[in-house]
A and B are shown apart, each in its own frame.
Chain A
């Protein structure tokens, strides 16, 4: 069975500081991995997607994530936080060839001025 664990339901960073949101997955087969962002009162939007083409995946808004098989991790990073990055972030895993996504419980990012 597949699962996703997001460490830290709330993360606070100062504006301009590094953003690191943690995601660990469990999958018996090579997975597809995703990061989605949800702004208040909106639906989820895709930030980036890992499909095995490259271990470092670049997404929108300056975010990137690195797939580390040995650590079963897919952490999301951004070098410098902006106030506009304040939102909830969801990691998700999907088994290749299927429509099912398993979403993590989300991490709410707060950016301090």
Chain B
């Protein structure tokens, strides 16, 4: 299995631009998570999908952030418009079940907004 695949690995953009991060979870996993990692706040859960349905988006910072999961093998996290304070590493993770399962993380997308 290739694991959780994220793209791009690095993204540098200018303030105000739209940014789209992509994630392919492990086949057969029905839970998908988007996390953001910063020095100041550590790992924060942004949104959780179960069976492609958003269950908890309470961690999404504001309306500039949106996430979709159109099918079991693909998810996107979009920031529009982007701001310098959005600079962080964004991780996608998947797990085979709903509760207390091992999380399988992708390698992350390092986002820099100038």
Contact = CB atoms under 8 A, between A and B. Distances in A.
Interface of A: 32, 34, 36, 41-46, 49, 51, 90, 94, 96-101, 103-106
A103 B48 contact: no
A54 to B, nearest CB: 16
Contacts, number: 51
A98 B107 CA distance: 24
B100 A103 contact: no
Contacts of A51: 100
Contacts of B93: 43-44
A43 B106 contact: yes
B42 A43 contact: no
Given A90-B43, A99-B31, A104-B42, A44 B103 contact: yes
11 contacts: A32-B100, A44-B43, A44-B105, A90-B43, A96-B100, A97-B99, A98-B99, A99-B50, A99-B98, A99-B99, A100-B56
B91 interface: yes
A40 B106 CA distance: 13
A100 B4 contact: no
Contacts of B91: 43-44
Interface of B: 4, 31, 33, 42-43, 45, 48, 50, 55-56, 91, 93, 98-100, 102-103, 105-108
Contact of A42 (B45, B98, B107): B107
Contact of B103 (A46, A96, A98, A106): A46
